[in-house]
Amino acid sequence: MRILRLYYINKVLLQHGLDELIPAKWLPWYAKLGRYSFFWLRNQHQDKSQGARIRLALQTLGPVFIKFGQMLSTREDLLPQDIADELAILQDKVAPFDSQVALNIILQAFNLADINELFSDFNPTPLASASIAQVHTAKLHGKEVIIKVIRPAIKRTIESDIELMRTVAMALQKLLPDGKRLRPVEVVEEYEKTIIDELDLSHEAANGMQFKRNFEGSPALYVPTIYSEYSHRNVMVMERIYGTPISDVAKLKALNTNMQKLAERGVEVFFTQVFRDSFFHADMHPGNIFVSTLNPADPQYITIDFGIVGTLNSEDKRYLAENFIAFFNRNYRKVAQLHVDSGWVPSDTNIDDFEASIRRVCEPIFQKPLAEIEFSNVLLQLFNTARRFNMVIQPQLVLLQKTLLYIEGLGRQLYPELDLWKTAKPFLENWMKEQIGLKAMYAKIKANAPYWSEKLPELPDLVYDTLKQIKILPEQQRQQFERLQWLQKQQHKRTKWLIFGATIIVLASIVPLYHSHLWLAGFLLAGGGLCWIRAWNVKVD
């Protein structure tokens, strides 16, 4: 199955002419020979641009590859404009599946004979179609809603691709010098968990409701209502929202949207999700983000598609915040020490060398707008630094890293002059104060007050029991010491009987060599056996 899938992937890439994108001088002789061996798999899309061929190939290969294209589409700084524009189509314009199939799935989910029994104004033409699902519009009890439907048989394709990725990851982990440090198998497993969860819309519904609670009344982010009573494993009903796609920068500017405030609120929303809630939207490509048109001077984000979310434990969150603040303050010594303390680099790392390497990479990027920062070069240098100091890749942070790439890509599109450091630093400093200052201590005491009020009546009994145990502790220690001495004596007795018995048995085996009296050997053998029986009857427990 994996071999067939691998062949299919290569077939699609060759039929879309993607091998032509790699300069011949970069290919070893065996790769060139292999390419010419597949002479019947020629480029069938020579009339299309490079970007169109890449998009069509990713779209043909399915959701795992489409997700990769969606992430790349936000990085216009890393791609030629024509390729970035083509990949942007993957955000919400993937070819839809048959509307009748979608209708049948909806009818089966709600046990309906006719769609009008529950929904009115159902539109069989999809409003949007993405890699995992497509959406249709309708009305539910007079309210405008969208109905999200999972693509049929999509799980089988995803599982096949994940198995192929796992096989490749296992090979890389064994073959590459950096294999164990990069932990590719764990990264694939983390990705598998997130994308499989995305196939169950009941998970997405629960995630969406959590986001709704977290940002209730927020001027920065609006989360549409999800109708949980009408949501199932492969069908979900949600409030229909109206807004401008975040990727339509021209329209946002035409509406006189405050682009600087919009970009800064994007950073604020991200850090709020990560550090306040420990629950962040991990699929923030432009197809999932809109801007409300109600008040362009005070813009508000609208987000959809909650299938992939990320969480961080308190320890990782604390280390990340401290790292960010240390970066913003250019305290590279602390950054290096934090990496050692967290276990992300080995404890025997030379802190001075690590500090110097981090300074060399990060110093050039400060106090510059996003438009002037070559992040691709910075990321490459950071990767080389990590490899030099044996930094272990953290699988739990992969989603966060992907989301950071999305945020950066959006920031470039919206407001290239955004000062990311100036925007994020006050937020993180305030968060740290809340975690370690007097305010944090008061908050923890207040949060634990119900628990302590419940346990307070038991405190006198606990104190009395503790004092009682302390009082009898010397006597218990004396008894334990005497018990230990007795066990040692008994063990010594057993050992003596075992040695005595073994000696007699050895004599019994020698006697027949010098005397013909076998009765003497038998007598000695019996005596040795009795000694062993006596040894095992000695009590040592």
Catalytic residue positions, numbered: 283
Integer angstrom CA distances of residue 414 from 225, 241, 253, 294: 27, 21, 9, 18
Residues 124-157 as b or e (16 or more Cβ within 10 Å = b): eebebbbbbbbbbbbebeeeebbbbbbbeebbee
Cβ neighbors of 432 (< 8 A, separation 6 or more) are 321, 322, 325
DSSP-assigned beta bridge partners for residue 145: 138, 239
Question: Which residues, including other chains, have CB under 8 Å from residue 35's CB and lie 6 or more apart?
Answer: 14, 19, 27
- Report the run of H or E that residue 361 belongs to, with start and end: helix 351-362
Dist CA 440 CA 357 (whole Å): 35
CA quadruple 4, 5, 8, 10: dihedral sign: negative
Pairing mode, strands 289-291 and 301-303? antiparallel
What gap in Å lies between CA 303 and CA 280, rounded to an integer?
12
Look at the block and give the residue holding tokens 């290969």. Answer: 61
Tell me the two tokens of residue 244: 């401008």
Q: Please measure the distance between the N-terminal and C-terminal CA atoms of the chain and give it in whole angstroms.
A: 60
Amino acid type, 72: L
Burial class (CB in 10 A: 0-12, 13-18, 19+), 266: buried
**How is 39-57 classified by DSSP, letter by letter?**
TT---S-TTS-HHHHHHHH
CB burial of residue 350 (10 Å; 0-12, 13-18, 19+): exposed
- Say if residues 344 and 394 touch (Cβ distance below 8 Å): yes
Interacting residues of 522 by C-beta distance below 8 A, sequence separation 6+:
508
Closest CA to 60 of 4, 21, 19, 15: 15
The whole-angstrom separation of Cα 396 and Cα 308 is: 13
Q: Which of 61, 79, 20, 78 has the alpha carbon at shortest distance from 165?
A: 61
**Which long-range CB contacts under 8 A does 471-479 form with residues at least 24 apart?**
none
The SS3 of residue 325 is helix
SS3 135: strand
Distance CA 328, CA 367 (A): 10
Nearest CA-CA partner of 306 in 201, 448, 460: 201
Helices (H) and strands (E) in the chain, counts: 21, 11
HSE value, Cβ hemisphere, 13 Å, CA-based, for 21: 14
Beta-bridged to residue 297, according to DSSP, are none
